[in-house]
Amino acid sequence: MTSIGVLALQGDVREHVFALERVGVDAPRVRRLAELEAVDGLIIPGGESTTIDKLLRAFGLFSPLRERIAGGMPVLGSCAGMIMLATDIIGGIHDQQSLAAIPMTVRRNAFGRQVDSAEVELTWQPDGSLMHATFIRAPWVEAWDESVEVLATATGPDGSPHPVAVRHGNALATSFHPEIHAPGAVPDDRVHRLLAELASRA
């Protein structure tokens, strides 16, 4: 069975595990190097990007993870995870590092503070269908290389559309939380299913 780990140092771990299990993959929590080495793919969940950066380095996972992603391991970063996958960060703190998996510039907290969290209907551009998305202190993509595929956009407080879901090879990133759905609603697992497909092919 394909195994996609969820980085379990900080952030929204449990819901990602549930989503991966719904799409039929093993979803171990990853905190140690041996656990990272054992998985076929990885999710970096939402949380606080500066904290995730510090904990990756404290646990000795930063360089090994960066090397695995550079080697083609499928990865999904949601919210703070999107920031971790960017090559450049606007609004980061001094000495904040990223994994540089996707050639893009991401703006931290672009959609506002916690009180500005919102649920938005997006168009999932690969098939033109609607996607219900939850934004919590979300970033957006400010600039990106032409090799980056934009999967969805959303209008920001500035009135302009910004990419909120992107793909670059085996790396996926979303500004929103694809693991979250409204109580009683049917879960939308398209993002996790896409990651599972990438991991099964890799």
Choice among 177, 181, 192, 197 that is catalytic: 177
Domains of the chain in start order, with CATH, are: 4-201 (3.40.50.880)
What is the pLDDT averaged over residues 48-72?
Answer: 96
Residues of the chain with pLDDT > 90, as a percent, come to 80
Active-site residue, 162 included: no
Burial 36-59 (b: 16+ CB within 10 A, else e): beebbbbbbbbbbbbebbbbbeeb
Taking only the tens place, the pLDDT of each residue in 151-199 is 999 998 888 999 999 999 999 999 999 999 877 778 999 999 999 999 9
Cβ-count burial of 201 within 10 angstroms (0-12 exposed, 13-18 middle, 19+ buried)? exposed
In a 10 Å sphere around its CB, with 0-12 CB exposed, 13-18 middle and 19+ buried, how is residue 111 labelled? buried
Q: Which of 15, 16, 162, 179 is catalytic?
A: 179
List the catalytic residue out of 15, 16, 79, 192: 79
Q: Give this prediction's pTM.
A: 0.94
- The predicted pLDDT at position 93 comes to 84
Is 146 known to be catalytic? no
What CA–CA distance (Å, rounded) separates 146 from 144?
Answer: 7
pLDDT, tens digit (0-9, with 9 covering 90-100), for 104-155:
999 998 886 653 467 889 999 999 999 999 998 899 999 999 999 999 999 9
